[in-house]
Amino acid sequence: MAAGPATPRLPRDAVERRLFVDAPPAAVWMAIHDSARAAAIDAILSQEPAGPDWPAVGARRRARLRLGPVPFGADLESLEARPERRFRVAIAGAAIVGERRWELAPAAGGTRVSCAVHLQGRNRLGRALMRFERRGIAPRVEAELAAVKRIAEAGSHPGA
């Protein structure tokens, strides 16, 4: 008997980046969910303030998707929240839909962090924008990982 539903695979065109953070998974988890630093971390979504239930599964919040010159309103829904292990969020807007995932794994006294994003156009405008912006997503994910690394490592080393 299975322990629970498996996390569905992202499509082949999803952007995934990984890096090592010299901080425990708890520090990385806190960096990802630090609302005071959300603008510094998130290069794709500008999120509205979270309610007290965020990031619990089923929690929702609004955001603005930043792709190209056209900002899109989007609804975010937490699909999976396993503290210090995994966080999945559905992104649903009028023109763009997708998913973002964070995976954390303890390793060598720190944390292996993986961030994956998959976005696709929902209508003609969304599909056109994704054709032009697809290459721009990877550098944004890399910038997000670098920000999480900087924040988590500074927070886990007193005096840093």
β-sheet with 70-82: strand ranges across: 15-21, 110-121, 96-107, 86-93, 70-82, 60-67, 45-47
pLDDT classification of 29: cutoffs 50, 70, 90 = very high
pLDDT classification of 86: cutoffs 50, 70, 90 = very high
Query: Taking 70 as the threshold, does the pLDDT of residue 47 lie above it?
Result: yes
For the record, the structure tokens of 140 come out as 């944004």
| Model pLDDT, residue 109 | 93
**Mean pLDDT across the stretch 77-92?**
96
Query: Taking 70 as the threshold, does the pLDDT of residue 160 lie above it?
Result: no
Query: Across the chain, what does the average pLDDT equal?
Result: 87
For 109-125, write each residue's pLDDT tens digit.
999 999 999 999 999 98
For the chain, the structural domain boundaries read: 15-156
For 15-156, which CATH class? alpha beta
Q: Do 145 and 113 contact (CB within 8 A), yes or no? A: yes
CA–CA dist 73, 58 (Å, integer): 19
| Model pLDDT, residue 156 | 65
DSSP 8-state assignment for residue 6: P
- Model confidence, pTM: 0.86
**Mean pLDDT across the stretch 49-69?**
87
pLDDT classification of 48: cutoffs 50, 70, 90 = confident
Question: Bigger pLDDT: 50 or 63?
Answer: 63
Query: Taking 60 as the threshold, does the pLDDT of residue 67 lie above it?
Result: yes
